[in-house]
Amino acid sequence: MLANLTKEGDISIITLDDGKANVFSPTMISEFNSLLDQIPTNKGSLLIHGRQGIFSAGFDLKVMMSGPEQAVEMVKSGFTMLQRVFSFPRPVVASCTGHAIALGAFLLCSSDYRIGVRGDYRIGANELRNNMIVPTPILEIAKFKLTKSHKQRALLNAEMYAIEDAIEPGYLDEIVDADKVYDIALAKAKDLATLAHPQYNETKMLDQEDVIKKISSGIEQIKDVVAR
């Protein structure tokens, strides 16, 4: 198992741990989606937790380089997964336990509250340094969360931020000591779990309506984007 689901009261906890860099391979994406299917959407909240030193290093580059068909399928399913997290009907807390690169950074942007650990870690979107474009689905998610003054630096300049500098651009909301991150993230998830249902989801849908349309349209066009 590359990801597992545990429960603490109304809190559903997905822990990512592939023993390495927590890359989103087709298998990791499939497991993550399967776990999302098991989480209540009418109560509680979701906590996404990484492994020590790494939240996620993004897509599995071995699959990305294995051929256009495999790359397209992985990217499309990965962006669909991000959309599910971004629009999840209950609050989503991310416990950023270390580096968050590319898709890992965008998973933070898809979450409602993000807590990072102090340490020598980096967060950022490095696509333009790896001969890739930033396609519409993740561009829209990032633009929704990143601050206006940092969008150029974070997206077009592909700037990598030290984790302790990641609040100002909008990747994180809070930074804590590594030995406290899980407990603090769990406490935040418990607090957000008290938000009203269905009013929370209805408000979230109103807030995200235009962005979701652009994300969905972008996912449908992803084959052309990846094949360029």
Q: What tens-digit pLDDT sequence spans the chain (228 residues)? A: 999 999 999 999 999 999 999 999 999 999 999 999 999 999 999 999 999 999 999 999 999 888 888 989 999 999 999 999 999 999 999 999 999 999 999 999 999 999 999 999 999 999 999 888 899 999 999 999 999 999 999 999 999 999 999 999 999 999 999 999 999 999 999 999 999 999 999 999 999 999 999 999 999 887 554 444
**pTM recorded for the entire structure:** 0.95
> CA angle 180-14-163, nearest 5°?
45
CATH number corresponding to 3-227: 3.90.226.10
Q: What is the pLDDT of residue 130?
A: 85
Q: What is the pLDDT of residue 227?
A: 44
